[in-house]
Amino acid sequence: MEKLTGKGKMLFLAAVLALSLAVVSSPQGVSAAPWPERNITIVVAYNPGGGFDLVARVTAPFIEKYLPKRASVIIKNVPGGGTRIGTRELAKAKPDGYTISIFDPVSLAVMEYGGKPDWLNVRKLTWLAQLDNLADMLVVGPKTGFKHPRDLKGKTVRFAGQDDATIFRSAVVAHSLGAMPVFVRYGGTGEAVMASLRGDLDALSLSWSSGMRQVKTSEDKMIPLLVSSKVPGLNVPSGKELGITVDELVMDHPHTMAGPPGMPSDVQRMWEETFVKVTKDPEWIAKMEKLGYPASPLIGKKKLDAPIAATMGRMDKYKDIIGGLTLIK
């Protein structure tokens, strides 16, 4: 090999320096390839057809549309264990941006506070985007005889318990109304509604959108009694209007996207930029509206850390309620 001297040596050193600067300035570092270079998986810890599954499936094509590189987005339903199986899969996934999930933060807060699984730390998950935020609704079956929230006072009321968050919210509502809740496990809202129509179950606590869907489609008509916070255009009284203290922070239902702990900052940034574009897309907004989940986006760590921390902090207020619940460990 010919030895470099003089001008040739200077040109070689300049080329090496330029290459080094290019690598250092790259947002993904020396070893990272452009992201994404393979398919994305959204883990849904519920059966197909429920609210979380529907929101994930409506959102997936728009994620594909706005990712930095073309990739498919695959929905993976991992139900079971009151959402624990799917949640555990996400929490222990490699934090490379290729696996994310859709959650209700309250569900995870109750899971962590009540069950204390060693694989879950809600604050350390990589919170990416809140897509909507729906008030909770109390719905009762037509055979209960309940016509007003005050009718539940002093009564033993059989609530559906689809998951820990549902059980927790139902317990909070029952406590506010002076009712004595008993929880019956069901695999999903559809099963619980059928049980209510038969008279095997008294009440359901669910988002107002899901609640009104059941009210409108059930032949014998489920009865909505109250919502946790006022919903414009909905003729159902809020807790405040009824003089009932209902904690909106733990009663509202946000569909929120998150990744495993430790997601690299550059990948997290690209996810946030993608969700900003998704949630501004008029077609996505219209599809969410049609589902009954009006968009209410909060994007990125800076906007989500505070409400997530507030939700976790609020759990201490309900430690007696959580301690008295039969949660899946």
pLDDT in tens, 16-63: 445 454 444 444 433 345 899 999 999 999 889 888 999 999 999 999
Same domain, 268 and 234: no
Same domain, 120 and 197: no
pLDDT bracket for residue 1 (50, 70, 90): very low
Domain boundary among 192, 225, 251: 251
What is the count of structural domains for the chain? 2
Same domain, 178 and 156: yes
Domain boundary among 192, 218, 251: 251
Same domain, 183 and 129: no
- Calculate mean pLDDT across residues 256-275: 96
In Å, how far are 8, 11, 26, 37, 156 from 19, measured between CA atoms?
A: 17, 12, 11, 23, 73
- Calculate mean pLDDT across residues 144-160: 94
Domain boundary among 190, 218, 251: 251
Same domain, 189 and 265: no
Same domain, 124 and 49: yes
129 pLDDT higher than 70: yes
Same domain, 128 and 277: yes
Which residue range forms the structural domain that includes residue 208? 136-251
Residue 244 placed within a domain = yes
Encode pLDDT of 281-306 as tens digits: 999 999 999 988 999 999 998 899 99
Cα(209)–Cα(83) distance, integer angstroms: 21
Encode pLDDT of 84-112 as tens digits: 899 999 999 999 999 999 999 998 998 88
Cα(101)–Cα(183) distance, integer angstroms: 27
Backbone torsion region of residue 232, taken as left when φ is above 0, otherwise alpha when ψ lies between -120 and 50, otherwise beta: beta
pLDDT bracket for residue 140 (50, 70, 90): very high
Same domain, 162 and 179: yes
pTM above 0.95, yes or no: no
